[in-house]
A and B are shown apart, each in its own frame.
Chain A
Amino acid sequence: MMAFLFRRKKSANSAKERLQLVLIHDRTDLSPTQLESLKDDLIQTISRHIDIDPTAVSINVARDGREQRLVADIPLKSATRRRAR
């Protein structure tokens, strides 16, 4: 009865989620490791110019039709907070 209520995730959904990830990798030839090292480089470069919180930075490959784009979200620390410190 409980097993019926908590049914397994539909297999078509797993198929779609897995394909979304695999296709991004296939299309861009960018491995998660490469993406991580790109992120580190980016954080270093930006930090030379402006104060950022490295842990808050996120970099992802987004899908837009057949195009892939690199989307970076880099929150800036506020200037007032920096001055108060």
Chain B
Amino acid sequence: MTAKVITIVSGKGGVGKTTSVANIAVALAARGQKVTCIDGDIGLRNLDVVLGLENRIVYDLVDVIEGRCRLRQAMIRDKRLSELYLIPAAQTRDKTAVSPSDMVRLCDELRPEVDWIIIDSPAGIERGFKNAIAAADQVLVMTNPEVSAVRDADRVIGLLEAEGKGPGALIINRLNPVMVRRGDMLSVEDVLDLLAIDLIGIVPEDEYVVVASNKGLPLALEGKNKAGQAFQNIARRLMGEKVPFLDFDTLNVFQRLLGRK
């Protein structure tokens, strides 16, 4: 096994990086892949709660890097999916506790053990971002269809190109098809025209994302909701499958039945 290292970045905070990392990792593991996700947001640990693994943390990323434990000891195994692991971020340290070369070394040690390493980048473009992309084979840039998120995504794509990690593939999260149709939200085509990079996923806005994170039960575990399905499609595309993008016309009908928000 030689893992492919995927890092999810956005520049702007709050666009849904952590949720995506959790759900893409879950979707890959559900397809029989061996996956380790790494929370790169040192000091603001969150991937553990989204995955529902917060009560099982003993060691973290910084413990591994500073040699207080072996890599294996910091890998928390998910009980629902036996081939899914999490290396949590340290909560009481900051980004300077890790360097880009530490991340490369850690991922190199992990590569023979798993199929995928998925890294959650912190918001921003400083040290934490550089750590998160250092070992990446592919970077997924996440944005929302709104001005500030698109602008920051563009900045991040420019930085990725400068670091030789670009251009990356785009995930558009929280798309509201009803608003797009009304002309009150940038469409997928608008965002692609502005950012000019390849698309790997469109995730519709879905209340169930909040419900799932409340429960610590990633929504990609169930295939019933549109957002979960979108994440499963991203996982399949990462595995090389050609999957058509979700049809939002049927979604519109569905949402109209539920009543407009």
**Number of interface residues, chain B, beta carbon within 8 A:** 22
Given A26-B155, A66-B167, A19 and B183 touching (CB < 8 A)? no
B108 at the interface (CB under 8 A from A): no
Given A19-B147, A26-B155, A66-B197, A12 and B167 touching (CB < 8 A)? no
- B-facing mask of A7-43, CB < 8 A → 1, else 0? 0001111011011101100110000000000000000
B184 near A19 with CB under 8 A, answer no
B183 near A11 with CB under 8 A, answer yes
Query: Which 6 interchain pairs have the tightest Cβ spacing?
Result: A10-B183, A65-B196, A66-B196, A11-B184, A16-B190, A12-B183
The one of B157, B182, B190 that contacts A66, using a Cβ cutoff of 8 Å: B157
Bound Cα distance A65, B158 (Å): 12
Bound Cα distance A10, B186 (Å): 10
Chain A minimum-CB-distance residue to B152: A26
Those of B172-196 within 8 Å (CB) of chain A: 180, 182-187, 190, 193-194, 196
Count A/B pairs, Cβ under 8 Å.
Answer: 45
Q: Which residues of A contact B (CB under 8 A)?
A: 10-13, 15-16, 18-20, 22-23, 26-27, 65-66
Closest-CB distance, B145 to chain A (whole angstroms)? 8
Chain A minimum-CB-distance residue to B147: A15
A18 near B147 with CB under 8 A, answer yes
Closest-CB distance, B54 to chain A (whole angstroms)? 37
B146 at the interface (CB under 8 A from A): yes
Closest-CB distance, B226 to chain A (whole angstroms)? 21
Closest-CB distance, B122 to chain A (whole angstroms)? 21
B150 at the interface (CB under 8 A from A): yes
B146 near A15 with CB under 8 A, answer yes
Bound Cα distance A65, B166 (Å): 14
Chain A minimum-CB-distance residue to B197: A66
Q: Give 19 new A-B contacts, CB below 8 A, not counting A10-B183, A12-B187, A66-B157.
A: A10-B182, A11-B183, A11-B184, A13-B183, A15-B146, A15-B190, A16-B193, A19-B150, A19-B151, A19-B186, A19-B194, A22-B151, A23-B194, A26-B154, A26-B155, A26-B158, A27-B158, A66-B167, A66-B197
